[in-house]
Amino acid sequence: MDAGARLPPWGEDFLSWLATHRRAAALTLESYRQDLFDLAELADGQAPEALNSADIRRFVARLHGQGMSGRSIARKLSAWRGLYRWLIRQRGARANPVEGVRAPKSPAMLPKALSPDQACNLLDAAQEPDSALVCRDRAMFELFYSSGLRLAELSGLDLDSGSRNGWVDFQEGMVTVHGKRDRMRTVPVGGTALAALRAWLDARASLPVSASERAFFITRNGHRMSQGAVRGRLRRWAAASGLGVHVHPHMFRHSFASHLLQSSGDLRAVQELLGHASIRSTQVYTHLDFQHLARIYDAAHPRARK
């Protein structure tokens, strides 16, 4: 989409409705804007109500022919489907031509996880100087790996028990988080992570933070850690550890899930701990577990390789 390019009025009206009635996030609205702009460009001046299913399938084929992945096309179809549902409810459109149209399948992308040794080496790596910020970073990363939290769940934690954003219960050794789709879940916290969290709270008191700031993890200036700041600190930590692997916060979540599954084999328990609504979302970790077993077989079995 060219800078300064504008959507037709129907697109702007739909985005305005998403912002006011659905309270869509800024990033969501930005993605929808691009998807709607692509629809308008493919339609070449036609109103969306004039399009039919054959047109939508032709658009999908064109995008796929241009090299767009099936996952990206599926996201566009979801946005277009939402547009037509809005047109039917708000403007009396007669049909949704996106219903029944499917994106081409893309090769399954397995999540990347650290090995248990890599995870431990990363978390145990000495960081200089051993300051309040190092205590904070160690506590964040230990909690990621201990409890499989999403980035937004960790950055949203508060000090106050019962907070709508989530909190740590040191007495019970649990963390309660505000997850996707407005769901709360409670997950155990390991002893090492609890010790790191306690050390961070002691160090937190040394930072210039106001009594009104209730965020659990704060910056050196006393403000809540943003998600971008957490990512940046993890990049620095991983680089200083010499691990030689690009590490991002969600990799800890993948590692948490795959290592638990390797040890327990209990897929349902891992689903509950991750907060997945569907077991299908958790089943991807069975493929990681199989890859782990396959590597052991290849390394150990005398007839595994020529």
Q: Is 254 annotated as catalytic?
A: no
Active site residue 145: no
Torsion of CA 223, 26, 255, 140, to 10 degrees: 0
Q: Annotated catalytic, 150?
A: yes
Of 32, 84, 145, 285, catalytic: 285
User: Contact at 8 Å (CB) between 148 and 250?
Assistant: no
Q: Which tokens is 291 given? A: 């890859």
Task: Report CA dihedral (158, 164, 168, 172) to the nearest 10 degrees.
Answer: 160
| Catalytic position from the list 76, 150, 178, 204 | 150
Q: Is the dihedral of CA 206, 207, 211, 213 positive or negative?
A: negative
Q: How many Å apart are CA 24 and CA 302, to the nearest integer?
A: 57
Catalytic residue among 76, 253, 254, 259: 253
DSSP alpha helices (H): ranges in 44-69?
53-65
180 is catalytic: yes
Q: Is residue 82 within 8 Å of 93, Cβ to Cβ? A: no
Catalytic residue among 91, 180, 220, 236: 180
Cis peptide before 8 (omega within 30 of 0): no
Query: Would you call 21 a catalytic residue per the annotation?
Result: no
| Strand partners for 174 | 169, 188
Q: What's the angle, vertex CA 258, arms to CA 255 and CA 261, rounded to 5?
A: 145
Q: Would residue 76 show up in a list of annotated catalytic residues for this protein?
A: no
Cis, peptide link before residue 129, omega less than 30° from 0: yes
Query: Which two three-digit tokens encode residue 257?
Result: 């899930």
Task: Name, in order, each residue with C-beta under 8 angstroms of 234's C-beta and a sequence gap of 6 or more.
Answer: 137, 140, 141, 247, 248, 249
* Active-site option among 81, 198, 231, 250: 250
Sequence letter at residue 21: H
Q: Which residues are catalytic?
A: 150, 180, 250, 253, 276, 285
